[in-house]
A and B are shown apart, each in its own frame.
Chain A
Amino acid sequence: MQPSSKEMQAMVGGLPASAVAAHIALQELHNGGAADHDDFLDQMMSGLAPAWQMGLGGYDEASLLTSRLRQHQAAGGGSPPPTGKSMLLQLNHHHYAHHASPQQQLLLQSMGLPPAGGGGDSGGFLPLPLSLGSGGSRDSGLLFDRSREEVDAPFKSSDSTEAEALYNGLGESLQRAAQAPNHHQHFPHPQNHRGAPPAASGSPSTGGGAVPPRPRVRARRGQATDPHSIAERLRRERIAERMKALQELVPNANKTDKASMLDEIIDYVKFLQLQVKVLSMSRLGGAAAVAPLVADMSSEAGAGRGGADGAAADDGLTAAENQVTKLLEEDMGSAMQYLQGKGLCLMPISLASAISSATCHPRPPIPGGLSQLIRRTAPSPHAAGDAPSSPSMSALTVQSTNGGGDADVSRPSRCKD
């Protein structure tokens, strides 16, 4: 009985604490998420409403954007939104709304609306259904091979009493474990009977047939048939907590699926690391340092793009394009992925010119960024297809790989801005 008593004690100690933590986190999530979302929406509505979004699934990076917008508003009171300078097409695949300063067009920016209503507030947190019988069969080493129903449960939004419900359900299931090892019900009873008191220590044994009408107060250390299942449940619950915390951090966290949530997390970490890398490449302090970059580019890129590089002496796009050319040499797919991660896309020049002509009617607060670019730089909309000597328009755009397949990488033209 040694292991079981130890684990039961651990569970008793751990559960109330984590219940409190979960509850607090839930509250904060509500507050924080709502506030964040409102702020971001305000900023968005005040003139950055993107005219055309090719679908939206993106990381909106609300925090980055909002802080930047706030800074600018604080600093230059009413200065035009920084998105005016450099905009880009969006992918319809999931992407990260990246954001750069107006002065430095290194990292091209793509505006995105937060996912409709769902961006910041993922609401509460439905606890995992408790499957006692099947708990023992899980391999404790594997993190993510849960069944779908268990996996989906933590990410449904609900109110904040779910944390209590978890422990109510836990207690109840413990009690039922004595009778039915295969019990895996989740009891969404919004009651506040979650008491830690071990008063019901004798209840599991007396559970018998009068289980349903019993009060929700249950001892955590009920009669555990299976120490593995308890440890398993504890572990799963901890993991669910952590995943919830991660959901707050990672934008686009409205995935209900644990596996896809993990994918998002992984992509986000990769993206952040890539951002650090790109930012460190860009901060080279002046045109003198940028010249070698430009020279590099022209030597690597080949005939089609050689001429344009000399003109684009600004370090606006060169670092990103540097990276892209390097990646293009080794693998087309990785270049695509890189650009996707930055919220850029590659498209045939004909399409780009078509788009530019379509959006090239003067409308002051043009939300969609590309038209800004075009209006500013290219008097002739069709210059996108011109010879590289005339740096017209830089839609460095990667076509989403799951979209149209013709990634006509012929000549993404260059923009000088």
Chain B
Amino acid sequence: MESKSSTTGNRDNPNRNLHGSKTMMASHFLRALFRIQQTSTSSSSAGRSRRIRRAAYASMAYSAGTRRAWSRALLRKLRSRARLRFPRRLSRAATPQRRDMDQAQVLRKLVPGGPSMDDCKLLEETADYIRFLTTQVRLMQTVMDSVSS
């Protein structure tokens, strides 16, 4: 992960707080991945992918800690073992009107812990969430590359 942190470290200057948590995210995720690989070698691919996705969000939330509303909400969701449900479904409601007036609502649905935030905090949490999401995605891509090479 050294190269990854060095290349991405200088890019997000305002995001210094992310630098330290990257390694934590990576180690947590890799450990979880390893565990998943060991336990479910022949189970359904859908189940495995779900577990991997869950592990991704878990490592995001763990490395973000409890100082963020979204990570707290995410941890809560993970601990209650509820099915990780995201509004991935490209809702038809969004397509008719692009500039829907309740953009804040749409955003609240996307960001964990959203509904209980005021607009200002929502934007702040969204920024942090995006940072961690991008880090996680990069991490996963790197893992995928190294696994398949």
Give A contacts to B, CB under 8 Å.
25, 28-29, 31-32, 35-36, 63-64, 66-68, 70-71, 74-75, 99-101, 103-104, 106, 142-145, 235, 238-239, 242-243, 245-246, 248-250, 259-260, 262-263, 265-266, 268-270, 272-277, 279-285, 289, 292-293, 327, 331, 333-334, 337-338
CB<8 Å pairs between A and B, sample of 23:
A29-B14, A32-B12, A35-B10, A66-B11, A67-B4, A67-B138, A71-B3, A143-B103, A144-B103, A144-B104, A235-B120, A238-B120, A239-B119, A242-B124, A245-B127, A249-B130, A259-B103, A265-B107, A266-B106, A269-B111, A270-B88, A273-B133, A331-B90
Q: Scan B108-144; emit 1 where CB is below 8 A from any A CB, else 0.
A: 0011000000011011101101110110111011111
Q: Chain B: which residue is nearest A68 at the CB level? A: B141
Task: List residues of chain A with CB within 8 A of the CB of B133.
Answer: 269, 272-273, 276
Q: Which of A272, A283, A284, A292 has the most CB of B within 10 A?
A: A283
Q: Chain A: which residue is nearest B44 at the CB level? A: A292
Partner of B123, one of A70, A239, A248: A239
Cα separation A28 to B12 with both chains bound (whole Å)? 9
Indicate if the CB atoms of A283 and B110 lie closer than 8 Å: no
- Nearest chain A CB to B97's CB is how many angstroms away? 11
Task: List residues of chain B with CB within 8 A of the CB of A274.
Answer: 88
Q: Chain A: which residue is nearest B137 at the CB level? A: A275
**CB-CB under 8 A for A64 and B138, given A276-B56, A283-B52:** yes
Partner of A63, one of B8, B124, B140: B8
At the interface, yes or no: B80 with Cβ under 8 Å from chain A? no
Q: Which of A36, A239, A273, A327 has the most CB of B within 10 A?
A: A273
Cα separation A70 to B10 with both chains bound (whole Å)? 13
**CB-CB under 8 A for A270 and B98, given A32-B12, A103-B148:** no
Indicate if the CB atoms of B119 and A266 lie closer than 8 Å: no
- Nearest chain B CB to A90's CB is how many angstroms away? 20
**CB-CB under 8 A for A338 and B90, given A245-B127, A276-B136:** yes
**CB-CB under 8 A for A273 and B147, given A143-B119, A144-B101:** no
At the interface, yes or no: B99 with Cβ under 8 Å from chain A? yes
Known: A249-B130, A259-B99, A292-B44. 20 other contacts (CB 8 A): A29-B14, A64-B137, A66-B7, A67-B8, A67-B138, A143-B104, A143-B122, A144-B104, A259-B103, A262-B104, A265-B126, A272-B130, A272-B133, A276-B57, A276-B137, A279-B141, A283-B33, A283-B143, A285-B37, A293-B45
Task: List residues of chain B with CB within 8 A of the CB of A248.
Answer: 14
* Contact residues of B between 15 and 72, Cβ < 8 Å to A: 33, 37, 44-45, 48-50, 52-53, 56-57
Indicate if the CB atoms of A266 and B45 lie closer than 8 Å: no
**CB-CB under 8 A for A283 and B144, given A273-B110, A337-B90:** yes
What are the nearest 3 A-B pairs in CB distance? Answer: A242-B123, A101-B145, A280-B52
Partner of A279, one of B4, B48, B119, B137: B137
Indicate if the CB atoms of A280 and B56 lie closer than 8 Å: yes
Indicate if the CB atoms of A249 and B131 lie closer than 8 Å: yes
- Nearest chain B CB to A257's CB is how many angstroms away? 9
Partner of A333, one of B53, B92, B130, B134: B92
At the interface, yes or no: B89 with Cβ under 8 Å from chain A? yes
Indicate if the CB atoms of A269 and B11 lie closer than 8 Å: no
Q: Chain B: which residue is nearest A74 at the CB level? A: B3
Cα separation A25 to B57 with both chains bound (whole Å)? 28
Cα separation A242 to B120 with both chains bound (whole Å)? 7
Task: List residues of chain A with CB within 8 A of the CB of B144.
Answer: 101, 104, 106, 279, 282-283
Cα separation A64 to B11 with both chains bound (whole Å)? 10
Task: List residues of chain B with CB within 8 A of the CB of A292.
Answer: 44-45
Q: Scan B68-99; emit 1 where CB is below 8 A from any A CB, else 0.
A: 00000000000000000011111010010011
Indicate if the CB atoms of A104 and B148 lie closer than 8 Å: yes
Cα separation A407 to B103 with both chains bound (whole Å)? 29
Cα separation A293 to B3 with both chains bound (whole Å)? 33
Indicate if the CB atoms of B147 and A285 lie closer than 8 Å: yes
